Chains A and B, each alone.
Chain A
């Protein structure tokens, strides 16, 4: 059974904290993605990576960074959390031509 696992289902952080969201996949996929989902806006791409140590900005990278030191792990970093980063965060992975497999999501609240 294929799997994309996100480290937390729910997180509450304070404004200004540095926040790490971790994602691990066990399918040996080249591509990994971080999206955020907000009501009425669908899934918006923050960053993606197509290889170890490679990263590309998506549509809304401001306030975020990412790290991919190993093929199976893709981390999203909020350098200094702000209330407008309260959202549902979804990680996904895919092969070069295939469908995306999603994690269960992390609902982050910044207070």
Chain B
């Protein structure tokens, strides 16, 4: 099993704070890096799919960057709101297989 690691495991921030988390993955045989948001009692939903080294994606207050050479991606949330509270998952897709390997997630709690 090739590991995808996320840090921190959990995070509590105050409303209005900006925050970021890390996903590290094997740099060999890279195909794609996905970020998902998983809210309680719902299904995971995709935030970003990134495929190129140096990719930067943005959706509202959330953005992500990708470094495939060193095997990491950052997810940033600017001005966190209580509705951002969720578990954020990253998933690594390899070129030689069609599977997505998920990290264990970062659980974010935004306190009002």
Chain A residues near B (Cβ < 8 Å): 4, 31, 33, 35, 40-45, 48, 50, 56, 58-59, 90, 94, 96-105
Contact of B43 among A56, A59, A94, A103 (CB under 8 A): A103
Chain B residues near A (Cβ < 8 Å): 1, 6, 9, 32, 34, 36, 42-46, 49, 51, 89, 91, 97-105
Q: Between A and B, how many residue pairs show CB distances below 8 Å?
A: 57
Chain B's nearest CB lies how many Å from the CB of A85? 19
Q: Is the CB of A90 within 8 A of B43?
A: yes
User: Known contacts A98-B49, A99-B49; is A45 also within 8 Å of B101 by CB?
Assistant: yes
5 contacting pairs across A/B (C-beta < 8 A): A31-B98, A43-B44, A56-B99, A59-B1, A103-B43
User: Known contacts A33-B99, A40-B104; is A99 also within 8 Å of B89 by CB?
Assistant: no
Chain A residues positioned under 8 Å from B97 (CB to CB): 56
CA distance in complex: A96, B95 (Å): 11
Chain A residues positioned under 8 Å from B103 (CB to CB): 42
Q: Is the CB of A43 within 8 A of B98?
A: no
Q: Is the CB of A43 within 8 A of B43?
A: no
Q: Is the CB of A41 within 8 A of B104?
A: yes
Chain B's nearest CB lies how many Å from the CB of A59? 5
Q: Which residue of chain B lies nearest to A100 when distances are taken between CB atoms in the complex?
A: B100
CA distance in complex: A104, B97 (Å): 25
Chain B residues positioned under 8 Å from A102 (CB to CB): 43-45
Chain B's nearest CB lies how many Å from the CB of A42? 3
Q: A-B pairs with the 7 shortest C-beta distances?
A: A42-B104, A99-B46, A102-B43, A43-B102, A50-B98, A102-B44, A59-B1
